[in-house]
Every structure is written in C-alpha cells, then in structure tokens.
C-alpha cells in the first residue's frame, strides 16, 4: 500500500511528534538564520561603513576613529575631504597656524596607523599612543618589511605611507618628539568595510564578547558577571517566593470562601492597576539601600496578580468533587486540605510558571531603582557606551535562564503529578525525534 501523505496544515489536528519537534527546532533556527544572513551577507542591508583607518579631517571637529561607523552616503564626502587636504599639503598649503600646531597635527596623523598595527597583532592595544613604536611601523610598512593583511591597505594608502616615510626618514630614522617635520605629512585615506549599525552586532561578536565578559577576571572591588547574575537571581526568586508565601494561601482562601473574596479581591483588583514602577522611590524610602527595595518591587509586581489568578484557578475546581467529599463526611477544613489544595495543584503549578515569567520582567526595573545593580546595571552601562555586543549576551542569558527554568518546570510536571496525562515534554520529543528510547513508556492499565 502506498504510504499516505498527511498534509502539514490541518485545522485543529496535532501534527506527528516528529513534525512537532522539527518545527520546534525550526522556530529557533529561523531567527538565528535570519540574524546570520543579515550579519554575514554583505549585500543584505549593511548601511554603514565600519572604519579600519580613522578619518581625520582638519576642517571638521568630528573625528571618527577606527571601529566607528559612518553611513554609506556620508563616507565618500569624508574620503574626498581627506584627499583634498592631502592635495593642499602637497601644494604647500598648511592649514595650521604655527609649526607647533603642525607637529601636533602630524603626530595625530602618525597615530592613524595604530589601529592597523593592533589589528595585525604588531602592537598591543595599550601601545596605540606609543609614538616610537608607531614610527617603526611606518618604516616597516613603507619598506615592505611588514604587510598588512587585515585590513588590506589600498594602493592609495600604500603610496601615502611611502611618501610620508620619505618625509619622516629625511628628518630622523627614529622617533623624537622634537624632530617631527614642520610641514604637514599626508593623511591616510579612510578605509573600512560595509557593516550593520552598531545596535546589531554579528552572532560571533556576541558570542565572543559574551564569553570574554563571563570569564573576565575583574579588578579588586568590581563585580564579576556570575556575581551579578547571582544577585539578579536572588532578586527575582526572593521577590517571587515572598509573593508565593503570602499570595498562594490568600488566593486559595479567596477562591474557596466568598467571605475572603469579597473582603480582599476588590482592593487587590484596584491595586494591581497601579504600575509597580511608580512605587520605586517609595520602596527605596521604606527599605533603604541594597536589595530589599528591589525584592519589594518584584513582590509588588507579582503579588496582586498572583492572588487574583490563584483565586480564579481555585474557583475553577470541579464543584462536584467538593460535593462528593462532603457526602463522604469531609468538614470545611478537611475539604480545603484534602480536596481544594490537591485538586488545584496542577493548575496552580502552571499559574506559578507564568507568574515567574512576570517576576523576571520586573527584575529589570527593580535593578534600576536605588543603586543600580546586577545584570541590568551592566546592560545600562554598556548600552550607554553603545557596546551592544556586550549587551546582547546578557539579554540572551536572561532569556535562556527564564526559558529553561520554565521548560524544566514543564518537564517535571508529570513527575509531580503522576495522575495527569501530560503531553510529552520537549525533551521527550527530542528523544523521539532522534530515536533515542526513553524510560518513560510506562505500560498503561486497561
């Protein structure tokens, strides 16, 4: 018999386990591939030029150093301006007011080669202002002893280097601050590669900087990334557990007894509309410094929702189970302990998973109040310096931690509640997808 093909799109029909897993993987793969495509295909987007050689323009105050980005439209005007300045210099026109100014300008132009030297590994990052070392780089490039592989210098720039070295070596073979020529040397023409804006670093940049930031040994008094991470975790779970401690019993009481529902829920319903961040200054005033006001903010953000959600879940408990228990002689307190609590537990568990997600959302705001702290402080600072390649790893990490906590909780649901016929977890699906036998296939009773 020919194997019948089931279509992929069927209304309200689940796909086969294999297809589900395939799509799950794909749902992560698509954004990653898109990101890679945008990052690594030069003709897709790439609206900027990232400079390898800095753009020095004496007529404009803005200076773009190597690593900066210019828009593609703006870049040619910059190149032209530098060429014009060079032409002027060759023609003997000196824009500088005094010989001293010329020397200073020449020193600046000499340092243009620094970024190239660092990128080729000839100099350390700290040496970019070591003029004596830079002087020799000029010499080596001009004589061809050193050849820059990345970035590859343009013919135009190589000629400039040779001309400049001729001028420089005529004065002195070694660097002496007093012996720089008093006529302007030529400026290197800005060079760069097409790149995406600074807010979209490429995947490998994010991974490498992320790796570096996490393993970086920090100076005395500074905070390691793992310490920041632990601090953030402490705030999320501190606020969340505190909220659970009061919110779960209160929610269950409200859902079980109309008395508590009428007494508490109207106010809680009102209070949850007050945005939690508006309490930040108040919380700092009450709880002072350190983590206390931050934990309190996560608490305020989750607690009120928690009570309402749990009371609703409690109310959804099948009424006939309560009646059945009553005809078996259960008294109100026994009902609460033996029917209500175990009856709502699986749904409560799911509620808490959602609420834990809320707690993570409040974390970012919580860490910004009072003294900034934790992962958010790092994101804030680096974002301010536009070091987005350092920001993304942290954002992703928060995402991963939240996602995996939730997946683990979803996975362990079947373990906590063996009476539920829980659908197979993503891990189980992965196992099936790759044909790994599982120990979960318990025999089902007839």
Partner 1 sequence: MNSSQLQLPSYLEQSDAVRSRFTELKERESVLTAKNLSKVFTSPQGKKIVALDNVNLEVKRREFLSIIGPSGCGKSTLMRILAGLETVTDGVAQLDGKTIEGPGAERGMVFQGYTLFPWLTVKKNVMFGLKMKGVGGVTAEQEALQWIELVGLSKFAESYPHQLSGGMKQRVAIARALATKPRVLFMDEPFGALDAQTRAQMQHYLLQIWKNVDVTIVFITHDLDEAVYLSDRILVLEANPGKVQEHIEVPVPRPRTPEQFLHPAFLATKNHIEHLIHPPAEDLYDDLPMLKMTKLGDEVE
- Other Cβ atoms closer than 10 A to 276: 22
Residue 428 Cβ, how far from partner 1 at the closest point, in Å? Answer: 19
Residue 415 Cβ, how far from partner 1 at the closest point, in Å? Answer: 14
Cβ pair 260, 204 in contact under 8 A? no
String of contacts with partner 1 for each residue 47-76, x by CB under 8 A: ------------------------------
- CB closer to partner 1 out of 96 and 338: 338
Cβ pair 425, 414 in contact under 8 A? yes
- CB closer to partner 1 out of 419 and 434: 419
- For position 445 contacting partner 1 by CB under 8 A, the verdict is yes
- For position 418 contacting partner 1 by CB under 8 A, the verdict is yes
Residue 435 Cβ, how far from partner 1 at the closest point, in Å? Answer: 28
Q: Which of 150, 417, 438, 440 binds partner 1 (CB under 8 A)?
A: 417
CA distance 56 to 105: 10
Q: Which of 94, 120, 169, 338 binds partner 1 (CB under 8 A)?
A: 338
Question: What does residue 239 show for φ and ψ, rounded to 5 degrees?
Answer: -65, -40
Q: Which of 421, 435, 436, 439 binds partner 1 (CB under 8 A)?
A: 421
Please choose, from the candidates 192, 194, 202, 198, the residue with its C-alpha nearest in 3D space to the C-alpha of residue 37: 202
Q: Which of 339, 348, 379, 391 binds partner 1 (CB under 8 A)?
A: 339
Site for partner 1 in 308-337 (CB under 8 A): 318, 320-321, 323-331, 334
- CB closer to partner 1 out of 2 and 418: 418
Cβ pair 235, 376 in contact under 8 A? no
Residue 262 Cβ, how far from partner 1 at the closest point, in Å? Answer: 18
**In sequence order, what are the beta bridge partners of 53?**
191
String of contacts with partner 1 for each residue 3-42, x by CB under 8 A: ----------------------------------------
Please choose, from the candidates 172, 175, 179, 167, the residue with its C-alpha nearest in 3D space to the C-alpha of residue 133: 175
Site for partner 1 in 342-371 (CB under 8 A): 342-343, 345
Please choose, from the candidates 299, 418, 420, the residue with its C-alpha nearest in 3D space to the C-alpha of residue 365: 299
CA distance 168 to 152: 23
CA distance 112 to 95: 19
Residue 421 Cβ, how far from partner 1 at the closest point, in Å? Answer: 6
- CB closer to partner 1 out of 221 and 418: 418
**In sequence order, what are the beta bridge partners of 298?**
none
Q: How far apart are the first and last CA of the chain?
A: 31
CA distance 332 to 338: 10
- CB closer to partner 1 out of 346 and 357: 346
- CB closer to partner 1 out of 202 and 336: 336
- For position 221 contacting partner 1 by CB under 8 A, the verdict is no
Residue 258 Cβ, how far from partner 1 at the closest point, in Å? Answer: 16
User: Between helices 374-384 and 341-368, what is the axis angle to 10°?
Assistant: 40
CA distance 441 to 446: 15
Cβ pair 240, 359 in contact under 8 A? yes
- CB closer to partner 1 out of 338 and 387: 338
Site for partner 1 in 172-201 (CB under 8 A): none
Question: What does residue 194 show for φ and ψ, rounded to 5 degrees?
Answer: -60, 140
> Binders of partner 1: how many residues, by CB under 8 A?
26
Residue 216 Cβ, how far from partner 1 at the closest point, in Å? Answer: 49
Please identify, among the stretches 118-126, 275-283, 340-348, 372-380, the one whose residues bind partner 1 according to the rule CB under 8 A. Answer: 340-348
Query: Three-state DSSP class for 329?
Result: coil
Tell me how far CA of residue 123 lies from CA of 128, 135, 152, in angstroms: 7, 12, 17
- CB closer to partner 1 out of 25 and 335: 335
Please identify, among the stretches 38-46, 149-157, 205-213, 411-419, the one whose residues bind partner 1 according to the rule CB under 8 A. Answer: 411-419
Q: Enter the DSSP assignment of 7.
A: P
Q: Which helix (H) or strand (E) holds 50?
A: strand 48-53
- CB closer to partner 1 out of 23 and 328: 328
Longest dimension (CA), the chain: 109
Q: What does the binding site for partner 1 look like in residue numbers (CB under 8 A)? A: 318, 320-321, 323-331, 334, 338-339, 342-343, 345, 417-421, 444-446
């Amino acid at each position: 018999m020919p194997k019948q093909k089931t279509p992929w799109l069927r209304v309200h029909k689940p796909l086969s386990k294999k297809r589900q897993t395939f799509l799950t993987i794909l749902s992560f793969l698509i954004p990653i591939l898109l990101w890679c495509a945008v990052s690594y295909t030069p003709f897709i987007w790439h609206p900027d030029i990232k400079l390898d050689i800095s753009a020095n323009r004496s007529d404009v105050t803005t200076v773009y150093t190597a690593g900066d980005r210019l828009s593609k439209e703006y870049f040619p005007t910059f190149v032209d301006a530098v060429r014009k300045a060079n032409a002027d210099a060759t023609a003997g026109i000196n824009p500088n007011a005094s010989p001293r100014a010329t020397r200073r300008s020449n020193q600046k132009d000499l340092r243009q080669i620094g970024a190239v030297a660092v990128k080729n590994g000839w100099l350390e990052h700290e040496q970019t202002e070591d003029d004596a070392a830079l002087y020799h780089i000029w010499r080596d490039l001009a004589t061809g002893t050193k050849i820059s592989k990345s970035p590859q210098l343009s013919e135009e720039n190589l000629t400039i280097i040779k001309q400049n070295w001729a001028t420089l070596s005529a004065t002195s073979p070694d660097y002496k601050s007093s012996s720089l020529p008093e006529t302007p040397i030529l400026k290197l023409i800005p060079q760069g590669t097409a790149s995406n804006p600074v807010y979209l670093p490429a995947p490998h940049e994010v991974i490498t900087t992320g790796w570096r930031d996490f393993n970086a040994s920090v100076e005395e008094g500074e905070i390691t990334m793992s310490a920041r991470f632990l601090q953030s975790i402490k705030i999320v779970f501190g606020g969340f557990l505190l909220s659970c401690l009061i919110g779960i019993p209160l929610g269950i009481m409200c859902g079980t007894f109309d008395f508590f529902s009428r007494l508490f829920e109207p106010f809680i319903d009102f209070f949850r509309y007050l945005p939690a961040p508006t309490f930040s200054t108040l919380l700092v005033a009450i709880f002072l410094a350190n983590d206390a006001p931050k934990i309190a903010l996560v608490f305020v953000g989750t607690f009120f929702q928690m009570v309402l959600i749990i009371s609703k879940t409690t109310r959804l408990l099948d009424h006939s189970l309560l009646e059945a228990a009553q005809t078996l002689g259960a008294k109100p307190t026994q009902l609460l302990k033996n029917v209500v609590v175990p009856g709502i537990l699986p749904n409560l568990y799911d509620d808490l998973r959602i609420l834990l997600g809320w707690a993570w959302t409040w974390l970012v705001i919580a860490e910004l109040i009072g003294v900034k702290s934790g992962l958010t402080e790092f994101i804030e600072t680096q974002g301010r310096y536009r070091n987005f390649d350092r920001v993304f790893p942290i954002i992703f990490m928060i995402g991963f931690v939240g996602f995996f906590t939730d997946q683990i909780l979803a996975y362990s649901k079947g373990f906590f509640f063996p009476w539920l016929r829980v659908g197979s977890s993503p891990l189980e699906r992965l196992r099936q997808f790759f044909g790994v036998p599982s120990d979960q296939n318990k025999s089902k009773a007839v």
